[in-house]
Structure 1
Amino acid sequence: MAATRVEHTPSILVLQPDENCGPDRIAQWASNHGVELSVYSMSVSTDMPPSLDGYAGLIVLGGDMGDRDTAAYPWLEDMRERLREAHREGIPALGVCLGAQLLASALGGEVQLGEPGLEAGVAGIRITDEGARDPLLQGVPEVFYSGSMHNDAVVRLPEGAVLLATGDVYPHQAFRSGTTWGVQFHPEVSPASYETWVGLEDHTANPELKARFDASVEDFWARDAIVAPACERLVGNFLSTVTQERR
């Protein structure tokens, strides 16, 4: 009699640089896809797995620190190394905002303070011709919307990377290199979490910025009916890539 093969639930290593930037909606979407998230928060411990052994995928989330802040946060280089490992070993990986910037710099791209300034609230994203053929963006509208909050940006993609999506404020909104993807926006963030982020900002010296942030919160709540489905599809595509690699 043939032995019964036991299928284990695929697990994704999630590296969380900032206590306020957790997986958010990705937690439910992963559960819907039968995928476990193994979350390592740097606010709890800076120790993280020394390799991706046993993991079917990798997600690196966003944070208040920047790609160029490695001297203050040495574990940022450990995150880059996990992203390099995923790229090298063909393991699906997704970098979100800071995670995308770490992916770009890990593979030889460049990240700098963005010349256009802060991009926050609901950002419009346009899929490129290459993006329309990419697994990450299948079924996502040609123009879609996502929560966003960043000052730094990828100013030069790694050699050989493919631009998948662009925007009016920042051109490098999504890219792929091998089995690793980076998105400058925050597909995981809900309006409630975005409102929390805004509440953490210090607006006392800049009433104009406070008004802008307050308006962006209202806009996010109003437009979430179009934000959430597109972002769920994008993240779902990544999760499907992870489960397909397990077969």
Structure 2
Amino acid sequence: MVQNDPTDDVRRLGDWLIEGGLELDVLRPYAGATVPDSLDGYAALVVMGGEQNAYPGPDGQPGAPWFPELERLLRKAVRGRVPTLGVCLGGQLLATAHAGTVERSPSGPEIGARLVARRDVAEADPLFGAVPFAPDVLQWHQDEITELPAGAVLLAASTHYAHQAFRLGDAAWGVQFHIECDIEMIAAWASGNLDVLADLGQDPIELLESCDAVMDDVEEVWRPFAKRFAALALTGPTAIGSRHLPVIGA
């Protein structure tokens, strides 16, 4: 797994992947870890979120120094049919690595407990086929995927943010929302973004209460989702046979 930011670790998602039979090899490039050149010996790739932008800054520099290497690894994963999951920023990087577009959303930040709507085409998807029509998710982002990569399949959407989940090829998925968070993680994000919440007119206590109220529902849907991903990693298209899962991200 790649962890892009110390504030967004694998948390509950990591526990669920381990329950599914995977061992996690968590890489932390922000702390000096090197993004590998290949996925040889790995069963899957998971890229987590972070506060960085998936697109270059005004000076043309990437959102983080390791993003070009990470995007190359994501392209190799898709070409090699290595099961891949990108969460929030990780999903955005999966899109930009394949010529999709990510921009600052004109709708403003999307924060808190929300619903997304599964598309009909998701019925046939190996991960999303068993997801309810309108599952609970946790959101915390201000950028959005405005254009999916060519050939990507849109799996879930919402009213203001059209691209909430997608599949690229037959073994790579990106989700805009967070499935890894526990309430402590949300509380830490809230305490570090009180000005953002004030601008949105969101009371931090009410935000935490609303997120806490859906934690069990989030687990009910996304825990088995994570375990389906783990099963795919162990038996899926690449048949690598390794039980180690690299996690790239925050």
Q: How does the TM-score come out when normalised to structure 1?
A: 0.89
Alpha-carbon RMSD across the aligned residues, in angstroms, is 1.7
Q: Which whole-Å deviations, capped at 9, do the CAs of 1:25-76 have from their partners, x for residues lacking one?
A: 1221122111011001123214122211110100000000111144352211
Q: Distance in 1 between matches of 2:147 and 2:197?
A: 31
1:224/1:206 Cα in 2 relative to 1: closer, same or farther (>3 Å)? Answer: closer
1:168/1:175 Cα in 2 relative to 1: closer, same or farther (>3 Å)? Answer: same
| Partner of residue 31, structure 1 | 18
C-alpha deviation, 1:231, in angstroms: 1.5
| Partner of residue 5, structure 1 | none
Is the counterpart of residue 195 in structure 1 residue 182 in structure 2? no
| Partner of residue 217, structure 2 | 226
> Percent identity, aligned pairs only?
33
SS in 2 for 1:143: coil
Structure with max Cα Rg: 1
| Partner of residue 50, structure 2 | 63
| Partner of residue 28, structure 2 | 41
The answer to whether the Cα contact below 8 Å between 1:140 and 1:233 also exists between their aligned partners in 2 is no
Q: Quick one: higher RCO (CA 8 Å, sep 6+), 1 or 2?
A: 2
Q: Which whole-Å deviations, capped at 9, do the CAs of 1:68-119 have from their partners, x for residues lacking one?
A: 1443522111111111010010101001000111011111111101111110
Q: 2:120 aligns with which of 113, 122, 129?
A: 129
C-alpha deviation, 1:233, in angstroms: 2.1
Q: 2:138 aligns with which of 113, 134, 147?
A: 147
Q: Which moved more, 1:231-240 or 1:155-164?
A: 231-240
* Aligned AA (1:37): L
C-alpha deviation, 1:208, in angstroms: 5.0
C-alpha deviation, 1:125, in angstroms: 1.0
Q: Which moved more, 1:95-104 or 1:193-202?
A: 193-202
The answer to whether the Cα contact below 8 Å between 2:55 and 2:96 also exists between their aligned partners in 1 is no
The answer to whether the Cα contact below 8 Å between 2:86 and 2:174 also exists between their aligned partners in 1 is yes
1:227/1:78 Cα in 2 relative to 1: closer, same or farther (>3 Å)? Answer: same
Q: Which moved more, 1:174-183 or 1:224-233?
A: 224-233
* Aligned AA (1:121): G
Q: 1:115 aligns with which of 103, 106, 110?
A: 106
| Partner of residue 16, structure 1 | 3
Residue ranges of structure 2 left out of the alignment (5+ in a row) = 242-250
SS in 1 for 2:35: coil
1:227/1:152 Cα in 2 relative to 1: closer, same or farther (>3 Å)? Answer: same
Q: 2:97 aligns with which of 96, 102, 106?
A: 106
The answer to whether the Cα contact below 8 Å between 1:124 and 1:144 also exists between their aligned partners in 2 is yes
1:72/1:102 Cα in 2 relative to 1: closer, same or farther (>3 Å)? Answer: closer
Q: Distance in 1 between matches of 2:220 and 2:158?
A: 19
Q: After the TM superposition, which parts of structure 1 deviate over 3 Å for at least 4 consecutive aligned residues?
A: 69-72, 205-214
Residue ranges of structure 1 left out of the alignment (5+ in a row) = 1-13
The answer to whether the Cα contact below 8 Å between 2:54 and 2:62 also exists between their aligned partners in 1 is no
C-alpha deviation, 1:189, in angstroms: 1.1
Q: Distance in 2 between matches of 1:152 and 1:240?
A: 31
Q: Distance in 1 between matches of 2:4 and 2:52?
A: 8
Q: Distance in 2 between matches of 1:44 and 1:176?
A: 30
Q: Distance in 2 between matches of 1:238 and 1:118?
A: 28
* Aligned AA (2:27): Y
C-alpha deviation, 1:169, in angstroms: 2.2
| Partner of residue 7, structure 1 | none
SS in 2 for 1:43: helix
Is the counterpart of residue 216 in structure 1 residue 207 in structure 2? yes
